[in-house]
A and B are shown apart, each in its own frame.
Chain A
Amino acid sequence: MRWFLRRLVFYAFAVWVALTLNFLLPRLMPGDPIAGVLAHLSPSQIQANPGIIQTYQALLGGGKGTIWHDYVVYLHRLSHLNFGISTSNYPAPVSDVIGRTLPYSIFLVGVAFLIAFALGTTIGMIAAWRRGGAVDTVVVPTLMALGAFPAFFTALLSVYFLGLKLKWFPIQHGYDSGLVPGFDWAFLSSAFRHSQLPIIVIVSAFAGGWVLNMRTVMINTISEEYVAMAHAKGLRDRRVMTRYAGRNAILPPLNGFAAQFAGAVGGLVFIEYVFSYPGAGLTLQQAALGNDYPLTQGLLLVFAFCVIASSFIMDLLNFVLDPRVRAT
């Protein structure tokens, strides 16, 4: 229980650091972000939204109030999910833009990450169990090599070969043009087909890391006495591998989940950019290029929260799976 409280304090602190970093960043940067943002809005647009300048000032600085006053206003507005209005999507508020694009990213990275994890740990487990076997000598090096490629290069290669030359997958956008996003079969099936290649690219980029981690830990686990004991009891080989050695070897790699996920969230930007996929990553890139600071600030916070939340979930899972953690 003490462990659990310590983690809670850490996450609360991490959230506070993310919020504060997000608050300080535009104030530390050279130049005048407010002027950059307002340059994208016409005088009539500014007049139509009383209070918009104050919102931007709380978010980006440059107002008349002290930094502490700004900070309080900033936290207050954020607690109402008020990030201001996105200048590149005028008149949509930042929260709407994020709400529209984030589901695509969550789907992409969520599905791909689970596949990469399941595939990677299984292959790593088998590779360690039969060292020098076919899986260990062929599949493992292949996945490791793919993992060393920058994600955007793998994405470009797959667009060219699998998409353009072999025509196996659609290569651009999140769904066929002409469809309206909604919960109908035509849209969902189209969205599914468009997500296949990006998912394959993310899996190929991340499976290698899981394979290596799992294999390393598994090799150590195999020499434990309870594994020999399980063999001696006459249990089937598969059962010893999965329920005895694998069950215990999976715990250390799980601890690296959050760091891997943080990397995947970053890699997502490149992959969405290559595929023109309408997710939050592409939106972040476009917003950063187009000086849409309210949107970049909002997205940075959302990305940080996603990583912190995933890290918290993994801690909880670890708590459930590992009795040693519960005991402390």
Chain B
Amino acid sequence: MSQVQPLVEPELTPLSVVAPRKRGRLHIPGWLSLLLANPKSRFGLLVIAFMIVVAVIAPWISVSNPTDFNILATRQAPSWHHLFGTTDQGSDIFSQVVLGTRRSLILGAAAAVIATALATTLGILGAYSGGIVDEVVNFLTNVFLVIPTIPLLIVISGYLKARGMMTMILVLGLTLWAFEARILRGQALTLKNRDFVQAAKVAGESTWRIVFGELMPNMISRIAAAFVLVFYIALLVDAGLEFLGLGDTTHVSWGMVLYWAQTNSTVLQGEWWPFLFPGLALVLTVVALVFLLAGIDEVSNPRLRNVKRSK
């Protein structure tokens, strides 16, 4: 949802200074120790690590099959027996939320990989090639930005009768690349006339080699930030589509739990648990990714870090 789109893109300096490696038994790569040193990205990484652990061990900590129903235990408020309460079919919401983590994380990450790959290729290629290629890519990007994504996705989902995970990953990946492409194009434009790019050009490197071998490695922090941005937008959009009943109805996910909560008007009957827990799981993940994003920005752009000291 675009209330989180950054408006003013700070000029980011590429991440080139890597912290000196400490010799130890556990080898931590430089970028990770940098991110762990920043409080914001540390919080984000810890929460996401927790979510991944939950997703991996989900089958063992969920107490029952999430689609099992039990007429004798419907609409129960949270208790020790059902930590997050039960649905009006008597399914255990804790199990549903825990198992839903798996699908949400995989789907968001996979869609973000596709969108980032597309945006990186188009954005950098356009900026580097200039001329007609840039004009076309930039025009296409801007047109995509004025076509409202959510209604477009709702219409597409309406046509797709089998909305499996792969389908949703592809659909989200192919629709969410435009704003990233614009960000990366701007970044590539500032790098394009640097000496190392000119040198590679004079040395006779091919366009693809310069785009992927010279420009891309120097924009890696910006690309990582773009990946995290699309990751949480894909998470939100996917959960939103499921909430509207336009997702994969055969699998358990956060959005599906919310959909059933809404369809059965549980809120209007004063039941808060069917919507609160899956909603909080989604919010927690999104907030963690937002913090990680802020951390990546601060690590790669030292100017943002000194805000507190300057005044």
Point out residues on A near B: beta carbons under 8 Å: 10, 13-14, 17-18, 21, 25-26, 29-31, 33, 131-132, 147-153, 156-157, 159-160, 164, 171-172, 205-206, 208-209, 212-213, 216-217, 252-253, 255-256, 258-260, 262-267, 269-270, 273-274, 284-285, 287-289, 291, 293, 296-297, 299-300, 303-304, 307-308, 311
Contacts and interface: CB of A to CB of B under 8 A. Distances in A.
A31 to B, nearest CB: 6
A240 B290 CA distance: 34
Given A153-B279, A253-B7, A274 B262 contact: yes
Contact of B283 (A31, A150, A253): A150
Given A149-B283, A293-B158, A270 B243 contact: yes
B139 A213 contact: no
A256 B159 contact: no
B267 interface: yes
With a 10 A CB-CB cut-off, give which of B8, B151, B245, B287 has the most chain A CB atoms. Answer: B151
Given A159-B267, A267-B150, A311-B146, A217 B8 contact: yes
Interface string B271-286: 0100110010011001
Contacts of B24: none
A30 B160 CA distance: 7
Contact of B151 (A150, A172, A269): A269
Interface in B45-75: none
A190 to B, nearest CB: 19
B47 to A, nearest CB: 13
Contacts of B240: 150, 152, 270
Contacts of B143: 13-14, 17
Nearest to A152: B243
Given A25-B155, A156-B279, A289 B246 contact: yes
A148 B146 contact: no
Contacts of B147: 14, 17-18, 21, 262, 304, 307
Given A18-B147, A31-B161, A148-B283, A269 B5 contact: no
With a 10 A CB-CB cut-off, give which of A10, A147, A156, A308 has the most chain B CB atoms. Answer: A156
A296 B283 CA distance: 30
B234 interface: no
Contacts of B272: 160
3 nearest interchain CB pairs? Answer: A266-B150, A263-B2, A288-B158
Contacts, number: 176
Contacts of B290: 148
Contacts of A288: 154-155, 157-158, 244, 246
A150 B270 contact: no
B280 to A, nearest CB: 8
> In the complex, which range does the number of interface residues on chain B fall in?
35 or more
B131 interface: no
Contacts of B146: 14, 258, 262, 304, 307-308, 311
Given A132-B311, A160-B272, A270-B240, A303 B1 contact: no
B155 A300 contact: yes
B262 A273 contact: yes
Nearest to B243: A152
B2 A269 contact: no
Nearest to B237: A266
Contacts of B244: 269-270, 273, 285, 288-289
Interface string B190-233: 00000000000000000000000000000000000000000000
B145 interface: yes
A297 B155 CA distance: 7
A258 B155 CA distance: 21
A131 B311 contact: yes
Interface in B266-310: 267-268, 270, 272, 275-276, 279, 282-283, 286-287, 290
A175 B311 CA distance: 51
With a 10 A CB-CB cut-off, give which of B7, B161, B261, B270 has the most chain A CB atoms. Answer: B7
Given A150-B283, A284-B154, A31 B5 contact: no
A164 B5 CA distance: 33
A25 B159 contact: yes
A25 B243 CA distance: 23
Given A205-B1, A252-B8, A263-B3, 18 more contacts: A17-B143, A25-B155, A148-B287, A150-B239, A212-B7, A259-B145, A260-B2, A260-B3, A262-B145, A262-B149, A270-B240, A288-B154, A289-B158, A296-B155, A300-B155, A307-B146, A308-B146, A311-B146
